[in-house]
Amino acid sequence: MAHKTFISYKYSEARDLRDRIIEELGDDAMFYKGETSDSPDLSDTTTENIKRALTDMMYETSVTIIIISPDMKNSKWIDWEIEYSLKNNTRNNRTSHTNGLLGVIMKCNGGYSWFKTTSVKDDGCKSSRFYEDKVYPIIRKNRFNQMPKIYKCNVCKTVDALLGSYIAYIEEQTFLADPQKYIDNAYDKSENDAAGYEITKVR
């Protein structure tokens, strides 16, 4: 099932990946509500006008894709867009639900080592570590926040990569191979207003 989506990204370094994501959505791209290469340039308008344009795009969406890129924290808007996506927003006497969110890790210099390292534990389980200082606090606070925690392995206490966090991280290449799988996963976690996760909704 297709879901209305929005992509939050740093324009100067991630617009090519944004375009590839939209392309890979195929027929489901009709449900994409965010910016495209044909969108008007808002860089010279006021903050309030930008917010108004963004909320018009985001209000009816149910999934927000966050592109995790090296300099994303220099964006003026990504953390605000995430906060908006997580809150229940009311417009015309109708209140939206919390969006499902997922983070797509951008490939840089041929890989993902700028943000992610993977190791194998003594019991054979693979475990990934992320350089969380490169993302906003509102993303970090919505990681490993499943309540109650369900461990994939009770020996080393690893959690499922997609279910253990409200905002799961997926590598660019993996996501582009099957975007609907990961969009559906994010949407499913948002059902019942994200019950099962301890959500931080404020920056």
201 within a domain of the structure (yes/no): no
Rounded to the nearest 10 degrees, the angle between the axes of helix 78-86 and helix 47-58 is 40
User: Average model confidence (pLDDT) for the chain?
Assistant: 89
Residue 155's domain is classified under what CATH number?
Answer: 3.40.50.450
Tens digit of each residue's pLDDT (9 = 90 or more) over 128-165: 999 999 999 999 999 999 999 999 888 888 899 999 99
111 within a domain of the structure (yes/no): yes
pLDDT at 13: 96
Tens digit of each residue's pLDDT (9 = 90 or more) over 63-90: 999 999 999 999 989 999 999 999 987 7
65 within a domain of the structure (yes/no): yes
Question: Could you give the CA distance from residue 91 to residue 81 in angstroms, rounded to a whole number?
Answer: 17
pLDDT at 41: 55
pLDDT at 75: 92
Helix boundaries (H) for 31-177: 47-58, 78-86, 137-140, 172-177
29 within a domain of the structure (yes/no): yes
User: Considering its fold, how many domains does the chain have in total?
Assistant: 1
Question: Whats the size of the chain, residue-wise?
Answer: 203
36 within a domain of the structure (yes/no): yes
199 within a domain of the structure (yes/no): no
**15 band by pLDDT with thresholds 50, 70 and 90:** very high
200 within a domain of the structure (yes/no): no
Contact criterion met (CB below 8 Å) for 145 and 166: yes
pLDDT at 192: 76
202 within a domain of the structure (yes/no): no
The residue segments making up the domain with residue 149 are 5-194
pLDDT at 44: 57
pLDDT at 45: 65
Task: Take residue 80 and report the two structure tokens written for it.
Answer: 């605000």
pLDDT at 195 over 80: yes
Tens digit of each residue's pLDDT (9 = 90 or more) over 32-52: 777 666 554 556 567 788 888
CB proximity list for 44: less than 8 A, separation 6 or greater:
none
Helix boundaries (H) for 67-140: 78-86, 137-140
Q: For 103-110, what is the mean pLDDT?
A: 97
Question: Could you give the CA distance from residue 7 to residue 188 in angstroms, rounded to a whole number?
Answer: 18
CB proximity list for 115: less than 8 A, separation 6 or greater:
68, 70, 105, 130, 131, 134
pLDDT at 60: 86
- Containing 158, the helix (H) or strand (E) segment is strand 158-159
pLDDT at 175: 98
